[in-house]
Amino acid sequence: MAKLLEYENGLRVCVVPLPIRSVMTGIWVGTGSRYESASDNGISHFTEHVMFKGTHKMSAYDIANAFEGYGASVNAFTSKESTCYYYKCIDKYNEQCFALLCDIFFNSVFPEEELDKERKVIVEEINMVEDAPDEICSDLMFSAAFGDSVLGQTILGPKQNVMRFTGDDVKKYIEKRYTADNVVIVFAGNISEEDADRLIRGFVLDRFKNGRCNDEKKPAAFITGRQLKRIKDTEQTNIVLAFPSVSLCDERRIVVQSVLSCLFGGGMSSRLFQSIRERKGLAYSIYTMPAAYSDAGAFTVCMNNSPDNTRRALLSVKDEIEKLCNDGITEDELKRSKIQLVSSLAFSEESVQSQMMSFGKALICTNNMFDINRKIELTESIRKEEVEQFVREYISRDLLTAAYVGKAYDDDILEIMK
């Protein structure tokens, strides 16, 4: 059973024992692109990258060599609301790997020659996104739905910001955001509560020198009735239709949303897939993708198709939304969706990575422990009426916002969807 350890400096540590031979450990920080201003947009992601450029004792090569010498994998990611540094190893080498990760987290140095190289690496990452129309369309959707700040900003930031960030900028950002009360450490796998506490006291507890994180989170609000287009010479158009939705903290309705997403666009038997792809052949890829954050959310329909099929595909999606709003769902659809979601939760319980991710995200974004049994109980208890009420409240074409990437397209997407 998972256990939460809380320390006087505000640090929270979650231990998720699993009957396996490996351990996956993540150091989560409650920071990401939503906490940035326009002038420092991208600093969270930049910091994550340069944390691996060496410590007082180890070079970047030494770090990689040490982890791989223990047969471990190490990585990190930045999202809109969190940054996570993690590794996976066999239980025999967990203490050594944890010591390495803590050395990175607390003792990183930022030599200018390494920062110069990493700036170029991140610019290449931005270029890679610019070559991926679906990634561009996702970023456009967030910008349309949430504006140019908070959740609307990209995670990577603009190139001009990346090219001028300095080591001092990173140090100031770490001092401001990487505080004990804003950090969660998750151990998942073959580790006991006692061993986790010993590691924390040995490598972490007295290392936080800065105070509390007093940076206030700016509220996010969904903006309806907007559309953004990026003209790009692609073979297919990419479209995201977005509706306002619930936050991660809305415990029951976030599950209702999952049930709806599953039956409407969550798989090969879903309504959108069967109608748009299987029966009409208008798109290769069409699916729903809820995006939920600590205080806001969006329910999205994503598709890509040839330019000749764009209008027909949009009208077909409109028809399916009308059927959903007017006729509701069937008991059979509800049952099938709940079975799929419960099965997915059960499968995730067998994955050390899923467990580390679920517990870390829940604590960082909602301040609550992830409880898979509670999640399963909630899923199984969702009623048909709740899903239909959710549709009435959120899946209204009057609330729609849209993003488009592809060849020049003069038609107004929102007008087509009315």
The reported pTM is 0.95
* Residue 213 pLDDT level (bands cut at 50, 70, 90): confident
Predicted confidence (pLDDT) per residue in 102-159, tens digit:
999 999 999 999 999 999 999 999 999 999 999 999 999 999 999 987 899 999 999 9
Total domains present in the chain: 2
What band does 207 get if pLDDT is binned at 50, 70 and 90? very high
Q: Which residue has the tokens 């999202």?
A: 79
Confidence of residue 216 (pLDDT cuts 50, 70, 90): confident
Any catalytic annotation for residue 48?
Answer: yes
Q: Give the confidence band of 35 by pLDDT, cuts at 50, 70, 90.
A: very high
14 falls within a domain = yes
Report yes or no on 222 lying in a domain. no
258 close to 343: Cβ distance less than 8 angstroms: no
Residue 219 lies in a domain: no
- Contact assessment for residue 184 and residue 63, using Cβ atoms and an 8 Å cutoff: no
Domain check: are 254 and 188 in the same one?
A: no
Q: For residue 253, give its domain range.
A: 227-417
Q: Which one of 6, 8, 36, 48 is the catalytic residue? A: 48
The answer to whether residue 91 sits within a structural domain is: yes
The order of strands in the sheet holding 83-90 is: 3-6, 12-17, 183-189, 22-29, 83-90, 73-78
Residues 198 and 244 in one domain: no
Supply the CATH number for residue 55's domain: 3.30.830.10
Which of 170, 203, 236 is the last residue before a domain boundary?
203
pLDDT tens-place string over residues 345-385: 999 999 999 999 999 999 999 999 999 999 999 999 999 99
C-alpha–C-alpha distance, residues 394 and 299, integer Å: 8
Residues 178 and 69 in one domain: yes
Is the pLDDT confidence value at 209 over 90? no
* Average pLDDT value for residue range 172-197: 97
- What is the rounded (10 degree) CA torsion for 25, 28, 33, 39? -110
The pLDDT of residue 182: 97
- The pLDDT mean for the chain works out to 96
3-state secondary structure of 28: strand
Give the model's pLDDT for residue 286: 98
Residue 208 lies in a domain: no
Q: Above pLDDT 90, what percent of the chain?
A: 95
DSSP structural state of residue 183: E
Phi and psi at 64, nearest 5°, equal: -60, -40
Strands 183-189 and 285-292: unpaired
182 and 77 share one domain: yes
Confidence of residue 312 (pLDDT cuts 50, 70, 90): very high
pLDDT at 116: 95
Q: What is the pLDDT of residue 92?
A: 97
As a whole number, mean pLDDT of residues 78-106 equals 98
Pairwise CA distance, residues 322 & 317, whole Å: 9
Mapped to the 3 state alphabet, what secondary structure does 293-330 carry? CCCCEEEEEEEEECHHHHHHHHHHHHHHHHHHHHHCCC
Contact 290, 395 (CB under 8 A): no
Task: Kindly indicate the confidence band of residue 238, based on its pLDDT and cuts at 50, 70 and 90.
Answer: very high
Q: Are 152 and 190 in contact (CB under 8 A)?
A: no
Q: Does residue 164 sit within a domain?
A: yes
Check: CB of residue 192 under 8 Å from CB of residue 15: yes
